[in-house]
Structures are given as C-alpha cells and as structure tokens.
C-alpha cells in the first residue's frame, strides 16, 4: 500500500495557470495523493476552475479563505488540513512531470531518507521552455543551504511522520527556505533526486525576479529567523550574495 502524499497549493488570481498545474497533478503516475488548495480570496476565475476539477476528482480539495491574507497564510491553512505521511509543495503556476511523485517516493524509501527535492527546468510566463535547468550540490549540506536556497519549492517532499508539520509564521517571507533550513538543521545533509522533475515558471514582478525584494527578504532570514544581530546579518548577507552570484550559477545548466 502506497503512502498518502499531501500536495500543498496556495492560490490567488491564478486563472491563467491553475488549469495546467492541476492537470500536471492529475497526470501523476503515483496515485495516492490529495491536493489541498487554499484560495486566498481570488477575484478572478481561479475558484471556478478548481471546483470543476474537484467535481471530477475527489482527491482535489479546495478551501476558500474569507479574506486575502497572503501566500504564507494560505500555505499554512492548506498544511493544517493535510493528512498525508508526505508533504509536497506546488505553487499555482508551476508544473510537475508525470513521474515526479513516483520517482521521489521511491527514492526516499530506497535511501531511507525523510526529505528530498529534485532539479527543475524553467519556463516563461507563457509556458515556453527556457532550456534552463537548475541543479544543486549533491549531497546538500546545512552550511551550503545556509548561504543559498538550492531547494526549489515545487520539488521538495518531506516526511511529516518524522518532522511533524512544519508551520512557520505567516508574516515571514522566504517561508520555503526557512522550512528547508529547519529540516537540514535536524538531518545535516539532504540528497536531491538527481533529475529534473518539474517546470518552474518565471514571471515578471515575482519576488524571485525582483532583485531588491529578494535581497530584503533574504536579509530577513538572517535577521529574524536566525535572530543574528544587524552587523552579523549584513556580513552573512555579503557571503550570501557571493554564493548567489559566483557559486550558484555553476548549478544552472543550459539544456
């Protein structure tokens, strides 16, 4: 009997992408999953599209939040409803390859691991393949993760029986990086599944495309999450930027 995987997807005004994202989950070769979508008071057709899918597939579960509270809040709201042994994340505009779950669950079991992630490819706003693959150190150590988030949110899976549900403050940005840091602090190293298993959509005006926002939010991880003083946080940020600009590009491949 395969274990249940709970897929956590916060949504907000994602009508342009959510149909394709849902289809990529329905197409999974691994069948024992529940997809928990927490909609953050969308004002477009996102909810209607999800409801149509949910009518055909009872594994898709939609929860509508009464007011817009932000991505972190919606993610936590979905996580609280999860009942699977494994927790996986998928944002409302990203896509999974059909064998994503099957390959990763098998990898976790074979290697007796409680957390893994994979490489991923990039697409643009319209879904065109950018022929750009993002890989990571293998294995990935806590120290490497401390200076750079090598874990793509859309690829990560952790064992909730082992770690518990990892719920962080909703006000904090870079919530995903904080979750992986929490995990790696416990297990010290993680092995990625060494293939690309997902498409990450690069959108204009997203946090990852705005360099200033990214620096501000990453600084917050050192200052607020790790609770280092201001001066030490600035020094760590300098090391982070060095890693981001000099070391991380070595793991980005043209394919």
Model pLDDT for residues 201-236, shown as the tens digit of each residue: 998 766 555 677 778 888 999 999 999 999 999 999
The predicted structure's pLDDT at residue 206: 60
Nearest to 136 by CA among 95, 197, 88: 197
Nearest to 156 by CA among 96, 214, 112: 96
Instruction: With a cut of 70, say whether residue 181 has pLDDT above it.
Output: yes
- What sign for the dihedral angle of Cα 158, 40, 50, 200? negative
Element housing 241 (H / E): helix 230-242
The predicted structure's pLDDT at residue 59: 98
**What's the CA gap between 50 and 37, in Å, rounded?**
8
**What's the CA gap between 240 and 248, in Å, rounded?**
10
Which two tokens mark 53? Answer: 């899918």
Which two tokens mark 180? Answer: 């992986």
Burial class (CB in 10 A: 0-12, 13-18, 19+), 18: buried
What's the pLDDT tens digit per position in 143-169? 999 999 999 999 999 999 999 999 987
The predicted structure's pLDDT at residue 171: 63
**What's the CA gap between 17 and 94, in Å, rounded?**
8
Ranges of beta strands (E only) in 152-213 are 157-159, 189-190, 193-201
The predicted structure's pLDDT at residue 216: 86
Domain definitions of the chain by residue range: 5-204
CB atoms within 10 A of CB 146: 19
Instruction: With a cut of 70, say whether residue 67 has pLDDT above it.
Output: yes
Instruction: With a cut of 80, say whether residue 1 has pLDDT above it.
Output: no
The predicted structure's pLDDT at residue 204: 75
**Entry pTM:** 0.94
Please name every residue paired with 253 in a beta bridge, in sequence order, or none if there are none: 133
Q: Do the Cβ atoms of 123 and 201 come closer than 8 Å? A: yes
The predicted structure's pLDDT at residue 198: 98
Helices (H) and strands (E) in the chain, counts: 9, 13
CB atoms within 10 A of CB 75: 25
What's the pLDDT tens digit per position in 4-44? 999 999 999 999 999 999 999 999 999 999 999 999 999 99
Q: How far apart are the first and last CA of the chain?
A: 37
Confidence category of residue 172, pLDDT binned at 50, 70, 90: low
The predicted structure's pLDDT at residue 168: 81
Token look-up 């940020």 returns 237
Q: Which CATH class is domain 5-204?
A: alpha beta
What's the pLDDT tens digit per position in 100-135? 999 999 999 999 999 999 999 999 999 999 999 999
Q: Using alpha carbons only, give the angle 129, 133, 136 rounded to the nearest 5 degrees.
A: 155
Higher pLDDT, 170 or 85: 85
Element housing 212 (H / E): helix 211-220
């Amino acid at each position: 009997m395969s274990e249940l995987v709970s897929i956590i997807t916060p949504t907000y005004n994602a009508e342009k992408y959510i149909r394709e994202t849902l289809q990529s989950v329905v197409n999974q070769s691994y069948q024992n999953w529940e997809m928990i979508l927490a909609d953050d008071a969308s004002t477009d057709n996102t909810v209607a599209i999800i409801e149509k899918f949910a009518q055909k597939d009872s594994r898709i579960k939609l929860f509508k939040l009464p007011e817009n509270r932000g991505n972190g809040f919606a993610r936590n709201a979905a996580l609280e409803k999860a009942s699977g042994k494994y927790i996986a994340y998928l944002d409302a505009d990203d896509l999974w390859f059909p064998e994503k779950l099957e390959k990763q669950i098998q990898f976790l079991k074979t290697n007796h691991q409680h957390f893994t992630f994979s490489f991923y490819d990039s697409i643009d706003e319209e879904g065109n393949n950018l022929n750009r693959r993002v890989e990571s150190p293998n294995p990935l150590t806590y120290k490497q993760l401390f200076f750079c988030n090598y874990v793509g949110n859309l690829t990560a899976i952790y064992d909730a029986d082992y770690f518990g549900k990892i719920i962080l403050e909703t006000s904090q940005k870079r919530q995903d990086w904080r979750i992986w840091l929490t995990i790696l602090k416990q297990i010290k190293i993680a092995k990625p599944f060494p293939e690309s298993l997902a498409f990450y959509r690069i959108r204009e005006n997203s946090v990852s495309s705005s360099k200033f926002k990214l620096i501000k939010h990453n600084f917050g991880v050192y200052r607020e999450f790790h609770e280092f003083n201001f001066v030490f946080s600035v020094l760590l940020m300098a090391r982070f930027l060095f890693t981001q600009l000099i070391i991380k590009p070595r793991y980005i491949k043209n394919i």
